[in-house]
Amino acid sequence: MEQLSDLISANHFGEILKQIRTMVALVGRDGSLVSWNPAFGDYKEKSLQAGNLQECFPEKERTKIDDALKANQRDHFVAELGIDDEEKTVFYNCSLIPLDNERLIFIAERLDSDTSLQEIVQRLNRQVKMFQVESESAKKIARNKQAEVDAIVAQADELSNMDVLTFLPNRRLIIKALKDEISRVERYTGPFSISVVDVDHFKKVNDIYGNLVGDEVLKHVAYQLRDHIRHPDLVGRYGGEEFLILLPSTNAGEAAEQAARLCKFVREAQVQVNAQLLKVTVSIGVAQYMPGIDTWDTLLNRADAAMYEAKNKGRDRWAVAK
C-alpha cells in the first residue's frame, strides 16, 4: 500500500494546514516565528507583538519552551496557552519536531477533557515500553534513546501527579508538598499556614443537575482558587469537592485575608448551566502550623475542623483554627 505522505502534493498539504484546527508553526532554532497556519494565526492575534514562539506562551511556561528548543530533538509536552473566551484556562498537547534545515515544526492540539489527558498518559506509557525494548536491542543508540526515555518518563510522572479533571496537583502531590514544607519550616523556622476549601452544597448540585454539571463546578472553583492565590502558594485537589492551599511564609491572619478574598471571587464568578447561572460558594478553614506540636496530619485536622466551623456558621465564609 502506498504511503499517504507520498500521495499528497505540496499544494494539497498546504490546503490541509489551512483547514485543520490544530496549530502548526515553522520556527527557527531560537524560537523565531517563520510561518504558521490559520489556526496558529488566530491564536497569535492575542499577542500581536510576539516575534518568537516563547512570547506566545504565558511567562511561567516559557522556560519549558526554551528547554525544548535547546534540546534540538523531538519533544512532547503539555503546556498552558492562556484563557479561552469562557475565561477557562486551556491546555495544549505540544510537539517540537526538528527539520533538516535548522528549523523546527511546532504542533499544538488543545486538550478538551480529562479523557484527552488520560489518552496522553496511556500513549506516553506505551512509548516508554517501546523505547525500553529498543534500548535493550540497540546498544549503539542506547544513550540517545535513554535520553528520550527519561524525558517521557518525567512527563508521564508529572501527569500522574495531576488531577485530570481540574489540572491541579492531585492528593498525592499536594500532601507530599505539605510534608516538604513542614520539613523546611522545622529546619529554617518562619510561619506556615494552610487552608482547606470545601464547595458548599455540592451533593445537592449533583443531585439536581447531574455529575457533569458537578464536574463543571469543581473546574470553576479550581480555576478561581489557582488564579487568585499568590505565586509562592500552591493549591491542589485534596479529594471530592475539597481543595488544599499551602501558604509558605504566611501566618494565620494573612491566610484568613486570602480566604476572605477567595470566598468573594468564587461567589461572584457564577457557573452557567444551560440558560441559567448557578451560584457557587465555598467554606474555608485556616490553620497555622505550630512547631513542636503539630504534625502534617494534625495540621490538616485543625484546618478541616475550622472549615466545618465555617459551614456551621452559615457557609460562604472562613474560620481560623484555634
> Cα separation of 41 and 48, whole Å?
10
> Cα separation of 253 and 259, whole Å?
10
Q: Which of 61, 181, 216, 241 is catalytic?
A: 241
> Cell 494539497, residue?
12
Cα dihedral angle (304, 307, 308, 309), rounded to 10 degrees?
Answer: 120
**Among the residues of the chain, which ranges form H helices?**
4-7, 10-19, 38-44, 62-71, 114-137, 142-160, 171-188, 202-209, 211-227, 252-268, 296-312
Residue 286 is placed in which grid cell? 485556616
> Cell 514562539, residue?
53
> Cα separation of 37 and 15, whole Å?
10
Catalytic annotation on 102? Answer: no
- Please name which of 280, 261, 129, 293 lies closest in space to residue 195, comparing C-alpha atoms: 261
Residues 108, 57: contact at Cβ < 8 Å?
Answer: no
> Cα separation of 202 and 317, whole Å?
16
How many other C-beta atoms lie within 10 A of the C-beta of residue 289? 25
Residues with catalytic annotation? 241
